[in-house]
Structure 1
Amino acid sequence: MKQYDNRAWLLVLPALVIVTFVGILPLIAVTNYSFLDLFSLNNPYWVGIEWYRNIVTTERFYSSLGRSFLFSAIVLSIQLPLGIWIALLLQRSHRFVVSTVLVLITIPLVVPWNMIPMIWLNFINPNVGLAGRILGWSGVGFDYKFNAPHTWIVLVVMDTWHWLGLVVVPSYAGISSIPPAYYQAAAIDGASRWHIFRFIQLPKMKTVLSMVLLLRFMDSFMIYIEAFRINAGGPNGATAFLSLDLGEEIQAFNYGPAAARSIVYFLIVMTVAWAFKAATGTRKPLAIEPVR
């Protein structure tokens, strides 16, 4: 009788221990706090679902939720096509150009998040920043502090500069993995550049793009440091995302409402991730042609 050795699972134990301490136990603690009114850790008061009811019945929650989804939709609609376009240009470029562009475009990915808004605030400063001086010389009135569209422009451009490399590098890797025989067959058939992209290059990038899409949605949906440092949710709450509402609760030491808001935030992100996985996980079976 064949015996199965499952000792290989022991190799997973270190990862399980780490996930338990940094993920599962904090989630359990926050869930517990969300049902309490914490005057202090030694004197909690049970309030049940009161914090959740207050969150989902306020207009502020839905306004912040709409702004968060809108920001994610804008940055994804810009970064994905732009990143794919740059990857296609690199695929037809010289190796030195490819190496240089990939290095330059990935440098923002290693910049600390709290430094990103400081860099851009100096960049658009009309007194010392290059972009600010150019806008001033051209006579363009740009006021990100009191003009909501201008604040949104700064956030979108800043986020694109920061994360575009995360789209370009996987896209270029997917394109580079295509064997030359595919292009040779397309040339013999007289396929146009659009057909090559549609039926050869895009399918090769589908897997990496789905991963990038999910990661970029989660990052953009949870934006906090950049939006807070740029204008702290202003002007007049025009950039008050869900993350900034959560930050306000924590800074006000409202730990019970903050915990409930964290759980709601977590459930929204997990629901979107599950829906995305369900939508992209269904694959049609390959049709096998009978041999004649």
Structure 2
Amino acid sequence: MRRSLLVVGLCCLLVLAGCGGTSTQPTASPSPSGTAAPDGGGGDGGAGSDDGDGGTADDGESDGSGDAGGDGTDGGSSFEYPEGVDDSGVADSTALFDAHVAAVSGTDYAINLTQVAAIGENRTHATSVVRSDLDRERSLGRFEVTGQQDTSVAVFRNTSDFYRRQTAAGRTSYRVRNATGSFATYHERRADVLRSANTVFQFANLSSAEIVERDGRRMARYTLDEVDRTAINESTTITDASAELLVDERGVIHRGYVEIDGERDGEPRRLFVEFRTTATGDVPVERPGWLGTAEEEAGT
């Protein structure tokens, strides 16, 4: 599913930096077999794998959001900046995402990613949610794209089995197979879902750090200093923009977002990308109700 996310990310890029197309919808579509064309195949969640992430809330479970709270600030004299950031801003976004994956891969986590790209009346909205319980070896993900063609994919992985459900063009299909590789490796790879939003940093130059405290944890908070015009088509007029990044000393990205509104050739354009770590430490993952149907259809 990572390829699906990257396709949506490309659409986001085209909104402001592209060469003037009018459609924001990913061009890939489900194949006749019901396997999503953007996914590729093989493996248990590596690049191009069909062991994808998901979107929308996972069957009504609470996301255990833990990044809300007070906006209190402190002096930040002893704040230990994780890799990729320092007191002056984001020095290396790739290193920051590496630090994030390293920090959450040793515990349970819940991660959300939202991407919206709009040109005029054409709009694509993609959401991913991944919940993974390392101790019980259960991971649940859902990915959803809405726009000119709606697609949703849900996946569930435990110690020994991998399940997939896809709905597209009014058709739902299932796949069940033996899991490959260790659950710990899969758990780490799923934590990397936020990296598909890495490209948004090219649009936003972030401010120097402000050290804040949220729910008893100290974090570095960065906000938009200015839009990077070198990454945006010169004929696009920016009408509004904002951005924020919250990262703690472990390297966990609690929230990051970029929102830019503009206009080109008389059409409004909007880019919105938000990524959140809504919980770590104890994130229960239950078997979704559709597994029984998947097993029946697969004859397992």
More strand by share: 2
TM-score normalised by length of structure 2: 0.24
TM-score by length of 1: 0.25
Larger Rg: 1
- Which is helix-richer, 1 or 2? 1
